Amino acid sequence: MYVIRILDCDPRDTWLVSCDLDQPDGLARFLFSYSLADAMQFATPLDALCYYQRQSTVYPLRLDGKPNRPMTGFSIEIRPLPSTHDTMTANATMH
């Protein structure tokens, strides 16, 4: 599984939890979390990239005529979730 890390928000790790591009007022609504456990999960990096590049269906074009893709206003990193084995090994190493 993969997650989207937002790079612009905070020096702490900030994860995408949800994104609604189709609000009636035309503004996108984003929900972020500092907890990796809350992050939206994707099966593949391509799924995460396609989600990031989605276009609003309510206002598909910006005033300049270009596609309205609000998430692309953020710099992101697509990261694999640590496997349960990796997490257990890291926890065992710290003790």
Q: Per residue of the chain (95 residues), what is the pLDDT tens digit?
A: 999 999 986 788 999 999 999 988 878 999 999 999 999 999 999 999 999 999 999 999 999 999 999 999 999 999 999 875 454 444 444 44
Predicted local distance difference test score (pLDDT) of residue 12: 87
Predicted local distance difference test score (pLDDT) of residue 90: 44
Predicted local distance difference test score (pLDDT) of residue 84: 58
Whole-number Å distance between alpha carbons of 89 and 66:
47
Q: What is the pTM of this model?
A: 0.81
Spell out the domain ranges in the chain: 2-94
Whole-number Å distance between alpha carbons of 1 and 80:
6
Residue 30: name the closest of 40, 42, 41 by CA. Answer: 40
Question: What token pair was written down for 76?
Answer: 């992101």
Predicted local distance difference test score (pLDDT) of residue 6: 96
Whole-number Å distance between alpha carbons of 39 and 37:
6
Predicted local distance difference test score (pLDDT) of residue 94: 47
